[in-house]
Structure 1
Amino acid sequence: MYQFFVEPEQIDVAGKSVIIRGADVNHIKNVLRMRPGEEVAVSNGIDGREYRCGILALEEDCVRLELRFIKEDGVELPAKIYLFQGLPKADKMELIIQKAVELGAFQVIPVAMKRCVVKLDEKKADSKIKRWQGIAEAAAKQSKRGVIPTVAPVMSYAQAVKMASEMDLKLVPYELAEGMEQTKQLIESVKPGQRIAIFIGPEGGFDPEEIRTATEAGIHPITLGKRILRTETAGFTTIAWLMYQLEN
């Protein structure tokens, strides 16, 4: 079943109707070639609900739907995961955002760290954020998320640590961290309703001073095992562990 995102005001629960506008209209009519009577899922990107609808009419500038029922138990994780990702090289950020959204991340925050090779000026950063947000939305549709995770503006490391300091559980996978038992205890301590921060370094890893700053702010270094993982793999692994714990 295909899923589409609309603005909250386009859903009329009392009137049992939904209107789809914008680029999705052409996609439904001319790419998917859908017809009246076919069922689609709609989300407003905010409340996590899934609105099951049937197509009533394919008009020139909109698609009119009949709201059939609301699926309350959506697919969102019961905790919010914030991925603080050190800026990687090339197009790796696109893959990181795509897979993080599929795994259930609530927000991705690009972070400029000491060992980041990539340096983005304000103009380039704005352009990248728009593209990355589009990738997040496409991944949310593909994985049938109830919300569209946001990609935040690029932050400095100090800004990221300050933001994370207010969260309930804060983790930083670090190649020099030891003790899988401590990692296991921290992962198992996660609870529904919490906000969880994950810090991932760029290709060159974290500068020792960054790890000191993180630990002073209550961010716990953890190990992901005996092997060194790439920057694009470490975040997936950590989110997957948390996903298993939260949904088990």
Structure 2
Amino acid sequence: MQRYFVNGPSENERFYIEGEDYHHIVRVMRMKQGDQIICVSPKGESALCEIAEITGEQAVADIVQWNVESSELPVHITIASGLPKGDKLELIIQKGTELGAFGFVPFVAARSVVKWDEKKSSKKVDRWQKISKEAAEQSHRSTIPKVAPPIPFSELVKVAEGYDYKLIAYEEDAKQGETSVLFEVFNKMRQNESLIIIFGPEGGLTEKEVAILQDNGFLSCGLGPRILRTETAPLYLLSAASYHFELMR
């Protein structure tokens, strides 16, 4: 069943759907009065709805039943990625959203090959946010992960101040066989607590970058014995979190 993130509901228990979602309902899915959809409010509450009316500008959906189950990870994990080449960040956002990420923070690392163009920044971030929204709808999420505009590495420490746990996925630790830090952090985390984890771009983080983060409360960890690509490592982390917090509970 199609899922849409919408504003509302109104006082009369109706959702009014406009814009791209309206176009998708009418032009792509060719729905009509009586068809059912899932509407998700800005508060993350989802409801089974029935289309009551379609006009030239909006679709009106009446609430049939509110849903009580949630498909969200019980902890909030934000992925901070050093800007990679090509469309790798789009892959991280799309698949990371499907796997339950709470948010994404791209940053410009010392070894980032791509140069961030501030003039094109708003269009790029809008595209990333759209990818996040579509992936959230496809995977039946209750929230849309926020994708932040890219920031300089120097701002990461400030961004991370509000998190309960702070980690660095560091390949040198993996090479040395480090296996305990991530496990220990997952064991300590409780429902609704937050974690931000830093991933380097192609070529990884520099020793200086890792040292700066460690001096500001970050713990470095390995992600198993294999060295993972910059677009693979965040997905490994989120899969491990799902196993730990959802399948083992």
1:38 to 2:35 alignment: yes
Letter in 1 for 2:2: Y
C-alpha distance in structure 2 between counterparts of 1:192 and 1:154, whole Å: 28
The answer for unaligned runs of 5 or more in structure 2 is: none
Q: CA deviation at 1:196?
A: 0.7
CA contact 1:3–1:40 (8 Å) conserved in 2: yes
> Where does 1:43-192 land on structure 2 (aligned, <5 Å)?
43-44=40-41, 46-177=42-173, 178-192=177-191
Task: Give the total of aligned pairs.
Answer: 244
- Secondary structure of the equivalent of 1:95? helix
- Secondary structure of the equivalent of 1:165? helix
- Secondary structure of the equivalent of 2:162? coil
C-alpha distance in structure 1 between counterparts of 2:241 and 2:160, whole Å: 17
**What is the identity percentage for the equivalent residue pairs of Structure 1 and Structure 2?**
36
Q: CA deviation at 1:123?
A: 0.9
C-alpha distance in structure 2 between counterparts of 1:126 and 1:60, whole Å: 30
Alignment TM-score, normalising by the size of structure 1: 0.94
CA contact 1:48–1:76 (8 Å) conserved in 2: no
4+ aligned runs moved over 3 Å, structure 1 = none
The answer for unaligned runs of 5 or more in structure 1 is: none
Q: CA deviation at 1:125?
A: 2.3
The change in CA–CA distance for 1:127 and 1:30 in structure 2 (over 3 A counts) is closer
CA contact 1:187–1:241 (8 Å) conserved in 2: no
RMSD (CA atoms): 1.4
Q: CA deviation at 1:175?
A: 1.0
1:16 to 2:13 alignment: yes
Q: CA deviation at 1:2?
A: 0.3
C-alpha distance in structure 2 between counterparts of 1:5 and 1:186, whole Å: 32
Letter in 2 for 1:4: Y
C-alpha distance in structure 1 between counterparts of 2:139 and 2:210, whole Å: 34
1:209-236 deviation line (CA, Å, top 9, x unaligned) = 0111111111111111111100000011
Q: CA deviation at 1:244?
A: 2.2
Letter in 2 for 1:21: E
Letter in 2 for 1:32: M
The residue number in structure 2 matching 1:225 is: 224
Alignment TM-score, normalising by the size of structure 2: 0.93
C-alpha distance in structure 2 between counterparts of 1:225 and 1:19, whole Å: 48
CA contact 2:168–2:218 (8 Å) conserved in 1: yes
1:16-72 deviation line (CA, Å, top 9, x unaligned) = 22211112222212221112222100012x322112101112211111111111113
C-alpha distance in structure 1 between counterparts of 2:37 and 2:27, whole Å: 16
- Secondary structure of the equivalent of 2:180? helix
CA contact 2:7–2:16 (8 Å) conserved in 1: no
CA contact 2:78–2:101 (8 Å) conserved in 1: yes
